[in-house]
Every structure is written in structure tokens, then in C-alpha cells.
Amino acid sequence: MPLFRASTEAETIALGERLAAKLPRGVVLLIGNLGAGKTTLAKGIAYGLGAALPDDVSSPTFTLIHEYGHGLVYHVDLYRLEESREVEGLGLDDIIDSGALVLIEWGERFPELFPPPRTEIHLRALPDDTREIELRRLG
């Protein structure tokens, strides 16, 4: 599966922009540690799809779900949720069924809720601040 490197925040946004058109609609899990660059990549993806300017994409850690481009892109952060039941209450199924691109941070904590087909983007911070970013398609 394709592996990319981005050595600055701007490069991570630019990579998101490039990847945007290649991502099939539906669930995209953004997987990586705190500060790995998940939200930064989401800025680029939303921008690449013409849904928002990078600066207008902010972390949904507290709001849980942000929507961009009139339903084109959703950005979800499940960090603060602990149980599947709480996630099920968000109504993500309808959003996923709508054909939107649904970017989800910390969704891998609830694998049973996001069965394949789905895309995973794994982000890893290297000691020099470069990010290794890998795309995986499941199902």
C-alpha cells in the first residue's frame, strides 16, 4: 500500500490535498498517536475536495462532528467517547450512507462499528517531525 512522507505541517496538508481525489467515499479512519497529524491531514483532504479552506478546518475533539462543503466531507473525533453505545448515538450510519467522505479520528477504538469496506490512513511521527503516512484499503 502506498507510503508517503511529509516533513512539515504544510507538506502534510499538501499531501491530503493530493490524496483527496483518490479516497473512495465512506469511512476513512485517520489512525495515529496524539499530535500525529490526523487533523492536519484532514485540513488538506477537505481543501482538496473543495469543501473548506485548510484554516477553516478545526479539530472536532469537543464538538465531535464537523461538516464541510454542504455534506461533502464530515470530520469526526471519537477521542472523548468511551463506549460503542455513545458512538452509535451520533447518527454516523446515516452520514456514511449519504455518500459523504467521513474522516474519523480515533475510530479504530470501535472496530465493530466501522466494518470494511473502509480506508485507513496511518500516520507516524518520526524523531525529525517528518510524518510517515500510509494508505490502506480494507474490504
Q: Which residues bind Mg ion (CB under 5 A)?
A: 38-39, 59, 105
Tell me the residue nearest to Mg ion as measured from the CB: 39
Helix (H, G, I), strand (E, B) or coil at 17: helix
Interaction between residue 63 and ligand ATP (CB under 6 A): no
In this structure, the number of other CB atoms found within 10 A of the CB of residue 26 comes to 18
**Shortest spacing between CB 59 and Mg ion, in angstroms:** 5
> Collapsing DSSP states into helix, strand and coil, what is residue 121?
strand
Q: Nearest distance from residue 14's CB to ligand ATP, in Å?
A: 10
Largest CA distance in the chain: 40
The DSSP element (H or E) to which 54 belongs, if any, is none
Shortest reach from residue 34's CB to ligand ATP, in Å: 4
Q: Are strands 26-31 and 101-105 parallel, antiparallel or unpaired?
A: parallel
75 binds ligand ATP (CB under 6 A): no
Please report, as ranges, the residues that interact with ligand ATP according to CB under 6 A. 6-9, 12, 32, 34-40, 59, 105, 129-131
